[in-house]
Structure 1
Amino acid sequence: MKKKQSATIYDVASRVGVSLATVSRVVNGNTNVRESTKRKVLAAIDELGYHPNAVARGLASKKTTTIGVVMPDVTDMYYSELARGIDDVANMYHYDVLLTNTDEDPVRETMAVNNLATKQVDGIIFMGNELDREVLNTIASVDAPVVLAGFLTSDGSLPSVNIDYVAAIRESTKALIRNGHQRVALVIGPLTHAINKQYRLKGYQDALEEMGIDYDESLVFTSHQDYAAGMQVAERVTAAKATAAITYDDEVALGIMNYMIDKGVKVPDDFEVVTSNNTKFAIVTRPAVTSISQPKYDIGAVAMRMLTKLMNNEILEDTQITLPHTIERRGTTKNDLEIKM
C-alpha cells in the first residue's frame, strides 16, 4: 500500500496563494497577518491536514518548544506528582515534555542530560537526591537552563524549588521527643548527599540540641528508597533501642511499620513513625502514616514556571524557592503529637 504523503507548508501556501512566510507567521501565532488571510490559511491547514514540523520550526526559531525532565524513578509516587505539576504548566505555555528515567545512576544521569541536549531541548528540570561532579559538569556544558525540583545542591549553584528540609525534620523530631521518646531514629539516604547531611541530618541534630538530648550517631541510619530496605533497616532500628523513627521515604516508613507490627510491637503505642513524602502509600495503609506534607504538585509547577522565565532570558528574583510544608497527623503517632516550631 502506498504511504499517504503528508501535506507540507508549500501545499498550504499554494492553496491560499500566499507566501511561505505568511503561512509560517500564522502557524507561529504572529499577529502581523490580516485576519481574512489568517482565516484562509487556517482553513487550508484544516482541509489539507497539515501538521507543522516541530524540528524544522525549532531550527528556524532556535527553539524546539520542548523541555526535558530527568527523573530517578518514574514509578515513584513522589516524583510522579512533581512531574504532573511540571507537565500541566508546560502544557499551559505550549511546551512538550521529554521524560527520561535514570534509576539515580550518575552515568545514566550524564547520558540523559547529553541526550536531551542533542535533541535541542529549550530547558531541563532535574529531580533526584544528588548531583555528582560529572553530572554537574555536563549540566554546565549544556546550552539550556536547568532547574532542580525537590532537592538542591550544597552551594545553591542551580535554581531549585523545595521545602525547608531542616525545619521539617526539626519539627517532627521535637514532636516525637515531646511524646516521651528519648531515642528517635533518623532514616535517610546516603550522607554523601547534601540533602541528607546538610539538611535532614542538621534538622535532626538541631532538634536534639534544642530539646537537651545528646546526639547519638548510632540512631542515624541510611537506607535505599524502597519497602524491602525499610524492613531491613527496621531490624537495626530495633537493635538500637529506638522507640520512634523519622524516615525520608514513604515505602521505607511502611517497611519499618510493618516490621514492628510483625514483631508484635504496637504502633503507635510502643513505636511511632513519621515519614516525609505524604504520597498515597502513607494514606491508604492502616494505620495511615503521619507525614511531613510537601506541596509536590506545586514544587513541579513552580519549577516549570521558573524554567519558562529562564528560557525567555528573564532574570529570576529568587533562584532558591522554598514552599511551605505541613505535618499531617495520622495513625502512626499518638493523638497528642504536638507540632511546634
Structure 2
Amino acid sequence: MKHAKLIDVADKAGVSISTVSQYLSGRYKYMSKDTKERIRLTIEELNYIPNSIARSLKTDVTKTIGVIVFDMAGYFTSSVLRGIDDYCKKSNYNVIIYNTDYDAEIEKKSINMLKMLRVDGIIIASSGKNNKLLDEENKNGTCIVQVFMEYDDLDISTVLSDYKGSTFNATEYLIKLGHKKIALITQEYEHIPSRQDRILGYEEAMIKNGIALNLNFINIWDRFSDLNKTFDEALKSENSPTAIFSMHSSVTAELLNYCNMNKINVPEDLSIIGFDELPLANLFKTPITVVDQKPYEIGQKAAELVLWKINHKKERENNKVIVSCELKIRESCKSLDK
C-alpha cells in the first residue's frame, strides 16, 4: 500500500507544502478556518502520517521525552510515570520509558540510546553511578531532570520530596505519642543529600524534644542484605525500640511480614511508620501510617520542569523543585501515654 506524502496532502487540499508543514507544526495563527479544515479533512482522507524522523532532522525537535527509572513495576515509580505521561500528553509530547533494574550499565546504555533517538529531554531516577556522563550531557545542553535523589557530585535540575520536613514531622508525631526509642531503617546515605535529609529530619525532631540521639537506632540496609537480620538486630537487643520508622516501602512490607512471623503485634508491641504509601495500606489488618510522597505530583512537576528547560535553553541555571509530603495517620502507632 502506497503511503501518502506531504505533497499529496498539499495538492489535494489546494495549498502549498509549506502551509501543510505549518499546520502540522501547529503554526496556523494566521491560517483561515477554511484552510485548516481542508487540510485536516485531507489528512484524514489520505490517512497521512507525518514522517517524524524527517521532521526532527529538519527542525531538531522530536516532541519526545525519555524517562529512565530503576523499577517501573513499583507502586511509587508507576505513579510517577503516570504523572509524567499525563503532563506530556497534555503538552503534545510523547514519552519513551527505559527500565534499568538498578543496573548502572543498562542505565548508561539507556542514556546513550535516548541521545541516539534525539529526544528533546530526559527525566531520570539515576543510580548515581553515571553522574559524570549525566553532568557532561547537562553541560552540553541536554535538558535533564533528576527525580527521587540528588548526589554531591552531580549539579543538575531535580524534583524531590520534602525529605527533611516530612521525616521531622513523622518523628515528632511518634514523640508526641510518647515514643523516645525510635529506630530508623534506611539505606546508605553518604554522598546522597536526599537520604541525608531524612536522617537530619529525624535527628532534629529528637533534639528539639530533648531526646538523646542513639546511633544504634539508625540501621543501614542494602538490597543484597538479609532484612530479617537487620530486623533481628533492631528488635532483639536489650535496648529495643518501641517504634520503627522504615524509609522504604519494600522494607515496610518486609517488616510487617517479619512481625507477623514472629508474633509481634502492631501497634501493641511495636509502632511502625513507613516512608512511601503502600498499595491498599488502609485495608491491612492494621492500617499502616505512612509518609505519602505524592508520586503523581512528582511526575507532573518533573515533566513541567523538563519542558520548561526545553523551551528556555538559553537559561542554563539548574532548578530544584521540592514537593511536600503528607503524613497519613492510620492505626499502626500506639500512644505510650495512656
Normalised to the residue count of structure 2, the TM-score between the two structures is 0.89
C-alpha displacement of 1:325: 1.8
C-alpha displacement of 1:138: 4.9
Which residue pairs with 2:282 in the alignment?
Answer: 283
Which residue pairs with 2:26 in the alignment?
Answer: 29
Is the Cα–Cα contact under 8 Å of residues 154 and 198 in structure 1 kept in the other structure?
no
Which residue pairs with 1:5 in the alignment?
Answer: 2
Give the AA of the match of 1:268.
Answer: P
CA distance in 1, matches of 2:211, 2:134: 38
Which residue pairs with 1:297 in the alignment?
Answer: 296
CA distance in 2, matches of 1:134, 1:166: 27
C-alpha displacement of 1:51: 0.8
Q: Given the alignment of the two structures, is residue 274 of structure 1 paired with residue 285 of structure 2, yes or no?
A: no
Which residue pairs with 2:101 in the alignment?
Answer: 103
Give the AA of the match of 2:71.
Answer: D
**Aligned partner of 2:67 among 66, 69, 73:** 69
What whole-Å deviation, never above 9, does each CA across 1:32-89 have from its counterpart, x for those lacking one? 4343333222221111100111111111211000001111101111111111111111
C-alpha displacement of 1:229: 5.7
Which residue pairs with 2:157 in the alignment?
Answer: 159
SS across alignment from 1:69: strand
Which residue pairs with 1:327 in the alignment?
Answer: 327
SS across alignment from 1:136: helix
What whole-Å deviation, never above 9, does each CA across 1:105-146 have from its counterpart, x for those lacking one? 222222211111111110111125646533434543654211
**How many equivalent residue pairs?**
333
Which residue pairs with 1:122 in the alignment?
Answer: 120
C-alpha displacement of 1:312: 0.5
What whole-Å deviation, never above 9, does each CA across 1:280-331 have from its counterpart, x for those lacking one? 1533432121001222111111111111111111659982222222211112
Is the Cα–Cα contact under 8 Å of residues 70 and 125 in structure 1 kept in the other structure?
yes
CA distance in 1, matches of 2:287, 2:136: 41
Is the Cα–Cα contact under 8 Å of residues 82 and 300 in structure 1 kept in the other structure?
yes
Measured at CA, do residues 334 and 317 of structure 1 come closer, stay the same or move farther in structure 2, by a change above 3 Å?
A: farther
Query: Which aligned pairs between 1:226-237 and structure 2 lie closer than 5 A?
Result: 230-237=227-234
Query: Which aligned pairs between 1:1-341 and structure 2 lie closer than 5 A?
Result: 4-31=1-28, 32-128=30-126, 130=128, 132-140=130-138, 143-154=141-152, 157-192=155-190, 194-195=192-193, 197-224=195-222, 230-240=227-237, 241-280=240-279, 282-313=281-312, 315=315, 319-334=319-334
Measured at CA, do residues 282 and 296 of structure 1 come closer, stay the same or move farther in structure 2, by a change above 3 Å?
A: same
Is the Cα–Cα contact under 8 Å of residues 225 and 249 in structure 1 kept in the other structure?
no
CA distance in 1, matches of 2:150, 2:281: 24
What whole-Å deviation, never above 9, does each CA across 1:187-222 have from its counterpart, x for those lacking one? 112223514552111222222222333322222222
Measured at CA, do residues 131 and 209 of structure 1 come closer, stay the same or move farther in structure 2, by a change above 3 Å?
A: farther
SS across alignment from 1:215: coil
SS across alignment from 2:164: helix
Give the AA of the match of 1:161.
Answer: V
CA distance in 1, matches of 2:241, 2:127: 26
Greater Cα offset, 303-312 or 167-176: 167-176
Is the Cα–Cα contact under 8 Å of residues 231 and 258 in structure 1 kept in the other structure?
no
SS across alignment from 2:38: helix
Normalised to the residue count of structure 1, the TM-score between the two structures is 0.88
CA distance in 2, matches of 1:114, 1:298: 28
Is the Cα–Cα contact under 8 Å of residues 234 and 255 in structure 1 kept in the other structure?
no
Give the AA of the match of 1:188.
Answer: T
Greater Cα offset, 121-130 or 45-54: 121-130
Measured at CA, do residues 288 and 251 of structure 1 come closer, stay the same or move farther in structure 2, by a change above 3 Å?
A: farther
Is the Cα–Cα contact under 8 Å of residues 306 and 316 in structure 1 kept in the other structure?
no
What whole-Å deviation, never above 9, does each CA across 1:250-290 have from its counterpart, x for those lacking one? 22112112212321222101101101111315334321210
Measured at CA, do residues 300 and 336 of structure 1 come closer, stay the same or move farther in structure 2, by a change above 3 Å?
A: farther
Is the Cα–Cα contact under 8 Å of residues 177 and 335 in structure 2 kept in the other structure?
no
SS across alignment from 1:245: strand
Is the Cα–Cα contact under 8 Å of residues 138 and 144 in structure 2 kept in the other structure?
no
SS across alignment from 2:118: coil
Give the AA of the match of 1:111.
Answer: K
SS across alignment from 1:280: coil
Is the Cα–Cα contact under 8 Å of residues 117 and 142 in structure 1 kept in the other structure?
no
Unaligned 5+ runs, structure 2: none
Tell me the percent identity.
Answer: 26
Is the Cα–Cα contact under 8 Å of residues 110 and 138 in structure 1 kept in the other structure?
no
